[in-house]
Structures are given as C-alpha cells and as structure tokens.
Amino acid sequence: MIQYLTNNSEIVWQALQEHLYLALVPILLGFAISLPLGYLAVRFDWLYHPLINTFGVLYSIPSLALFVFLPVILGTKVLSPINVVVALTIYTVALLARTVADGLRAVDPVVVQAATAMGYRRSRRLIDVELPIALPVILAGLRVATVSNISLVSVGSLIGIGGLGQLFTRGFQLFYLEPILIGVILSVLLAGIADLIIVLVQRAITPWTRAA
Amino acid sequence: MITFEDVVKVYRGGATAVDHLSLELPTGKLTVLVGPSGCGKTTSLRMINRMIAPTSGRILIDGKDVAEQDEALLRRSIGYVIQHAGLFPHRTVLDNVATVPVLLGKTRREARAAAYQLMERVGLSAEFAKRYPAQLSGGQQQRVGVARALAADPPIMLMDEPFSAVDPVVRSQLQAEFLRLQQELGKTIVMVTHDIDEAIKLGDHVAVFRAGGRLAQFATPRELLAEPADDFVASFVGRDRGLRSLSFDSATDLPVRPVEGIPLDDAGRPLGLPGVFTKDDSLRVVTDLVISSPGGIAVRVGPDGAADGQVSHHDLADYLASRRR
C-alpha cells in the first residue's frame, strides 16, 4: 500500500484535493443558502412545511440519478464538476435549511420577547440573539451534512468526477485492492477531520452550552 | 406619568382583554396592576412599551403618545423584567446586564463597567459576572433580570410577575430588597401580579382589575383594605383585610405600661421571649405578638434592645377601639 502511495502520490494527492473541493464548496454554498431559507420558514409560518417537504423530496432522489439528470436541466456538460457541486449543494440545503429552521424555532419565545422588549430591532435580534442560541442545533446539522457530503462525493466517480472515488473505480477496473483501501481510508479520515474541526469550532463559540 | 386614555384591546376572535381603561400612573411611584388571570393586567402592561398595540385609545408617557414614538427607542428607555427573567442563555451575566447600554451605542467596555456596578446594586457579587444564566438559581436569575432592566437607568420600569417564579423565602427577600432599591431610585414602576398580598406590600398604588379587562378600583393599599369599592374587590382583597390594614400603622402612638414581671438580663433586655417590637413596627406585628405570646403580652424594646414597656390584649383592644372614634 505504501508502495502504491509513493508511486502514485500525484494521482492520490489530486484525488484528495478534488474530493475536498467537491465536498466543501457545496457545504459553504448550502450553508449560505440555508440560513435565509431557514429563517424565512420561521418568519413566515406557512412556508415551513412546503419548504421542508420540497427539500425532503429532493433529498430522497438518489445521488447518481441527480448527477445524471442535472446536465439535462442545467445544460452543463455531463463530465462537468458543476453537476456534482450543484447536486451536493441541494443535499446540503435539504439537510441544513431544516436544521436552521428548527434551531430558530427552538429558541425560547420568552427570550425572544425579552430581547424585543429591551429594544432590539428584528435584524439585530436575529444576529445577536436568535442565531447564536440556535447555533448548537445548526452546527449539529452542519456536521451531518459535511460528513454526508464527503461520502457522497465518491459516487460522482461513476460519472467520472469523484475525488477519492476515482481510486475506487480505478481499483475495480484493475482488480487491485490498494487504491480502494487508500480511497476508503483517506475518505474516512477526511470526514473525521472535518467533523472534528466543526466540533472544536462549536466548543469555542458556544461555551455557554457546557455551563450548568 | 403614564396615562391610559380610554384604552381598549380586543384580540382576534373577539375576546376583550382591556375594556375602556383610563388610568394615570404617577411618576416616581410603584403602581401594581393586580387581578385574576384573564383580567387584562399583563396586556395593559405590555401596551405601555408597545409589545401589544391597543385596539383603540391612547397611552401617553409624560404627555407623549407611545404610538408616535420609534418602537425600539421607546423600549430602550423602559426597563422590562419578566417572570422567569428571560435572560439570554448564550451571554454571561455581565453581558446580559450590559445589553441595553450596548444597544444604545455604548462600547462594550463602558457597558460592562456599568454592569458591574449594577450587579452590586442588586446584591450579586462580582464572581457571578462570568457565569451563564444556566449556572444561577432562580432568585439569582431574577436579580440579573432586574439589573439588566436598570442598566440604562430608564425612568420607567415594567415588571411582569417578577417575583412569582421563586420560592416564598427568596420572594420576600427579593421584595424587601426591591423596595429598598426603589426608595433609592424613585423610578416610575408598573408591576403586574396576581398576588394581592404582594400588591399591597409593594404598591404605592394598586389597580385592581376584574375579568373582562375592567378596572375595579384604583387606590392606595390602605384605601383598598379600608374601603373596597365593591364586593368583587372586597373578596379579591381577602377576608382578613381588617387585620392586614394594621400593617400600615406603626406602633409609635400605642401606649405602653411599665415593664412588670418579665425576666430581664443585666442590660434590661427581656429574657426568653420569642418576639419583641419597636416603635417602628406595625400594629399588625404587635397584634400578632400579643396573640401568639403565652401570657398575652407583647414587650416593646428601645433601640438598645432594652425593654421599655409592655402591652396586653386589653390594652391593644382598647387602643384599636379608640382609633375608630
């Protein structure tokens, strides 16, 4: 395995970079989209169920099917990485929009009212009070979405863009175990490290959750 | 002065919460709104800082209609304390207290410095500053809630059942401290409670509401006990109002007899007596002592603790009878 790694370090390194890119860009995009969507679902109560249900349905579409159909809808090339990025962004939003909404809904209404009565305007209240209090829930959702994305990227290898997943297809084609093992180990390692980073960030910015 | 001008609040669905309320709450005084649940007392309170909008009528603060003022700015100028304190769980005690000064544009450093002083004022030592609300007892949280409401030194404070979520011992402690604080600060305070005893104990004025949001009586606690406006107020105030009204009269003018037959120590202090009273105690305290002491006698002590007189059942009854004339 070490032998394979030294001989193919270039390929493995590139696969790892691609994997990271394909997993993290959708996370950032998805997070940025989920915050306003989740907020809207709370602000306008009637939006909550339609929104959550829509993304629930989207989430249930198999990833491979999405990778294949997206070029048709987006007009992108079949082999464009944009397909994977868009598909994974959809999954991220499906997971995160709901956690953002649920996190915001779980903020004690008494606290929100107290903030209003202190003289907070709506937007500052959202940033200073509601979002920070919803953060533990939102970050828990972010962990799930991140780990899920890192594992889903590999499926993209079936359409030719899949980061470490490329090592799997390569191994299968060559009846060769080493690249598969390396792909699995690196993928799991990546997910573990990403998860750990989020946990550490969470500990640093929500010290109050450990008080009591 | 806070003025309610013919204020009506009808909720969607048609329930009348406040029914043509006209009321003037004097500046620098503590006015208690009291009544059974659903009587509109909390709705009335929350219309003052525009948390709820009246259906008709106006609410004026020092002659200015609150509806014409910017909501957020109005609220920053009015302290607000609620039942379970409603503290921000993600902020330390210090930053909770500093909330409104920061909103008003003070730097965090300035606001925190002021917050330390306020914590001291409400009886919280500096060691609590860095703690989070979840690490405090209910009574401590309520102190933080009061400090937070006072932080920007607002002329007006609204308090919605501020002491009802803590146990009776802590409650009377908080009430006593709060009365002391109010004597120093002289804020215009509007407090809501369902507890008539609390209303009578704390209020300079008491507004009794009845179900359906109608004002039944607005009076001082003494007037309320002595002359309830109608049967509803009389029954709400409770049966032993005659006895309770004695708490407004001090024992200063109560004649006493020379001390006789009571064991004293070398300094003249009564020995082995559970309770004694001073000139500043209320007649209610004296009455209670007379009733509960085995000999039917209450002993008065001077500032040094030495006995300087005694009162018997009969003396007290005669004195109370003479007051009626």
Q: What is the pLDDT of residues B119-170, one digit of tens each?
A: 998 889 999 999 999 999 988 999 999 999 999 999 999 999 998 888 888 8
At B301, list the tokens: 């002590």
Q: Inform me whether the pLDDT recorded for B37 exceeds 80.
A: yes
Q: Searching chain B, which residue's CA lies closest to the CA of residue A134? A: B90
* Cβ-count burial B130-163 (b if 16+ within 10 Å, e if not): ebbbeebeebbbbbbbbbbbbbbebebbbbbbbb
Q: What is the Cα–Cα distance from A3 to A9, expressed in whole angstroms?
A: 10
Give the mean pLDDT of chain B. Answer: 90
3-state secondary structure B22-65: EEEECCCCEEEEECCCCCCHHHHHHHHCCCCCCCEEEEEECCEE
Q: What is the Cα–Cα distance from A42 to B76, expressed in whole angstroms?
A: 26
Whole-number pLDDT of residue A166:
82
Of B181, B145, B148, the closest CA to residue B164 belongs to B145
End-to-end CA distance of chain A: 49
Secondary structure letter of residue B102 according to DSSP: H
Contact B72/A120, CB-based, under 8 Å? yes
Q: What is the Cα–Cα distance from A11 to B271, expressed in whole angstroms?
A: 96
Q: Inform me whether the pLDDT recorded for B220 exceeds 70.
A: yes
Q: Where are the alpha helices (DSSP H) in chain B?
A: 41-48, 71-76, 93-97, 99-103, 108-121, 138-150, 168-185, 196-202, 221-226, 231-237, 241-245, 283-292, 313-324
Query: Is B72 in CB contact (< 8 Å) with chain A?
Result: yes
Q: Inform me whether the pLDDT recorded for B226 exceeds 90.
A: no
Residue type, B165: A
Residue A102, H or E segment:
helix A81-105
Secondary structure letter of residue A163 according to DSSP: T
Whole-number pLDDT of residue B325:
63
Give the mean pLDDT of chain A. Answer: 89
Whether complex ipTM tops 0.90 = no
Q: Among A110, A119, A121, whose Cβ lies nearest the Cβ of B100?
A: A119
Q: Which of B30-39, B83-92, B299-308 has the lowest mean pLDDT?
A: B299-308
Query: Is B88 in CB contact (< 8 Å) with chain A?
Result: yes
Query: Is A129 in CB contact (< 8 Å) with chain B?
Result: yes
Q: What is the pLDDT of residues A21-77, one digit of tens each?
A: 999 999 999 999 999 999 999 999 899 999 889 988 988 888 888 888 888 888 888
Contact B103/A120, CB-based, under 8 Å? yes
Q: Inform me whether the pLDDT recorded for A171 exceeds 90.
A: no
What predicted TM-score, i.e. pTM, was given to this entire model? 0.82
Q: Which residues of A touch B148 (CB under 8 A)?
A: 118
Query: Is B17 in CB contact (< 8 Å) with chain A?
Result: no
Q: What is the Cα–Cα distance from B174 to B165, expressed in whole angstroms?
A: 12
**Measuring CA to CA, how many Å separate A201 from each of A134, B24, B170?**
15, 53, 39
Q: Inform me whether the pLDDT recorded for A84 exceeds 90.
A: no
Rama region for B10: left / alpha / beta (φ>0; ψ in -120 to 50; rest): beta
Confidence of residue B32 (pLDDT cuts 50, 70, 90): very high
Query: Is A204 in CB contact (< 8 Å) with chain B?
Result: no
- How many beta-carbon contacts under 8 Å exist across A and B? 67
Q: Ranked by mean pLDDT, which of A17-21, A166-170, B3-7, B265-269 comes out on top?
A: B3-7
Of B150, B153, B146, B163, the closest CA to residue B202 belongs to B163
Percent of chain A topping pLDDT 70: 100
Residue type, A8: N
Residue to test with chain B: of A112, A113, A116, A118, most B Cβ within 10 A: A118
Of A99, A198, A179, A190, the closest CA to residue A153 belongs to A190
Whole-number pLDDT of residue A165:
84
Q: Which of A35-49, B82-96, B271-285 has the lowest mean pLDDT?
A: B271-285
Of B228, B254, B231, B236, the closest CA to residue B312 belongs to B254
Q: Searching chain B, which residue's CA lies closest to the CA of residue A132? A: B90
Q: Inform me whether the pLDDT recorded for A212 exceeds 70.
A: no
Q: Which residues of A touch B72 (CB under 8 A)?
A: 119-121
